[in-house]
């Protein structure tokens, strides 16, 4: 059930229920961060393996000390610069954070979402919310209440309506290694923005386990075959005669029916493109196509994060 009733959401969460809730990045599947019963429900409904830890959502920077400890000064600087907003910090956890939240790791992921409905909700609760993106494991993330309802319906207590997500892709996840900022997941906060505050290093996947399973290769994937390319024309020729859908950056191609094409931003605005990305993937996936051909975006700013998601969607 989709509803705008925040007090109903509070009631469900107080009773260990789980709900879909809006954030500026994507919708989350939320429950009380201290109730293992609620957290188990989240893993069950999502069919998510429990080795994949969850993000804790707090109402403000003042709550950080209740969740994390030994917080480096740089974490405070970044939080001051970007919270509320799409930046998740990996920090040493407080002992009372359930192991189920952190997948038995000593660290916890935490952020303050920048969405008025989410913040109003969090302020009315006596606990933080754990919330993974509200999609079944490996499928496309939801950017509207309708997406969540279509995925989970009455398996969850309700979906709190908050409109379409403004950012449209998940938060950027960073951690600290001897005070160096390490990026574990590209996301809605561009690296160029973080670099105005601190230099960043990309996490090196080679010979290490993926530290954020959001870095697992196949992720955010439509059911339809999905191809990512710099040269859409070449792929169009290759697949000619098939039912093709196109996911394009800034202009339609004249050779194909417009109904089978989605342009992310006619103005070439990467923020707009990010906000439209997942909805476009949901739409194309519903069109019973044989193949979706996606155009690689420019490799700067949010283009890097969008290309990361498109590349994961295209993996088998």
Binding site for ligand TXA (CB under 6 A): 23, 25-26, 28, 52-55, 86, 88, 90, 102, 105, 107-109, 113, 131-133, 170-171, 173, 184-185, 211-214
Give min distance, CB of 39 to ligand TXA, in A.
12
CB of 151 to Mg ion, least distance (A): 12
Nearer to ligand TXA, 44 or 257 (CB): 44
- What are the binding residues for ATP? 48, 52, 107, 133, 141, 185, 220
Instruction: Take residue 146 and report the two structure tokens written for it.
Output: 């309708």
Asked if residue 70 lies in contact with residue 108, where contact means CB atoms within 8 angstroms, the answer is: no
Residue number, 42 or 64, with CB nearest to Mg ion: 42
Give the CA distances from residue 204 to residues 119, 182, 193, 210, in Å, rounded to whole numbers and listed in that order: 34, 9, 21, 9
Among 107, 114, 133, 275, binds Mg ion (CB under 5 A): 133
Q: Which residues are annotated as a binding site?
A: 25, 48, 52, 57, 107, 111, 131, 133, 141, 171, 185, 220
Closer CB to Mg ion, 114 or 261, in the complex:
114
Kindly provide the b/e burial profile for residues 65-78, where b requires at least 16 CB atoms within 10 angstroms of the residue's own CB.
eebbeebbebbeeb
Q: How far is the CB of 198 from ligand TXA (least distance, A)?
A: 19
HSE of 180, CA atoms in CB hemisphere, 13 A:
9
CB nearer to ligand TXA: pick between 112 and 289: 112
Q: Which sign does the torsion angle of CA 96, 99, 103, 106 carry?
A: positive
- The span from the CA of 316 to the CA of 310, in Å, is 12
The DSSP letter of residue 154 is: G
Could you say whether residue 143 binds Mg ion (CB under 5 A)? no
Q: Which of ligand TXA, Mg ion, none lies near 24, with the C-beta cut-off 5 to 8 A by kind?
A: none
What Cα–Cα distance (Å) separates residue 150 from each residue in 54, 87, 147, 153, 187?
22, 27, 5, 6, 24
Query: Given the rule CB under 5 A, which residues bind Mg ion?
Result: 133
């Amino acid at each position: 059930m989709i509803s705008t009733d925040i007090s109903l959401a509070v009631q469900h969460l107080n009773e260990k229920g789980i709900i879909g809730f809006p954030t500026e990045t994507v919708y989350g599947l939320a429950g009380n961060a201290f109730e293992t019963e609620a957290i188990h429900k989240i893993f069950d409904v999502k069919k998510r393996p429990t080795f994949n830890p969850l993000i804790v959502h707090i109402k403000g920077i003042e709550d950080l000390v209740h969740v994390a400890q030994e917080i480096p000064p740089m974490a405070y600087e970044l939080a001051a610069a970007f919270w509320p907003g799409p930046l998740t910090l990996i920090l040493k956890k407080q002992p009372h954070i359930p192991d189920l939240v952190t997948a038995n790791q000593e660290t916890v992921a935490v952020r303050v979402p920048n969405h008025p409905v989410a913040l109003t909700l969090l302020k009315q609760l006596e606990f933080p919310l754990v919330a993974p993106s509200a999609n079944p494991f490996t499928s496309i993330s939801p950017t509207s209440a309708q997406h969540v309802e279509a995925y989970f319906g009455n398996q969850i207590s309700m979906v709190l309506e908050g409109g379409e997500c403004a950012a449209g892709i998940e938060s950027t996840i960073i951690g600290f290694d001897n005070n160096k900022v390490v990026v574990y997941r590209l996301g809605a906060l561009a690296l160029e923005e973080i670099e105005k505050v601190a230099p960043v290093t990309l996490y090196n996947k080679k010979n290490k386990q993926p530290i954020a399973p959001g870095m697992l290769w196949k992720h955010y994937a439509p059911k339809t075959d999905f191809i990512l390319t710099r040269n859409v024309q070449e792929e169009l020729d290759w697949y000619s005669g098939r039912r093709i859908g196109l996911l394009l950056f800034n202009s339609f191609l004249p050779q194909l029916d417009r109904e089978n094409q989605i342009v992310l931003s006619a103005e070439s605005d990467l923020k707009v493109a990010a906000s439209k990305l997942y909805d476009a993937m949901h739409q194309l996936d519903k069109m019973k196509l044989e193949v979706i051909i996606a155009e690689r975006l420019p490799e700067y700013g949010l283009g890097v994060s969008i290309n990361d998601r498109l590349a994961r969607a295209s993996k088998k």
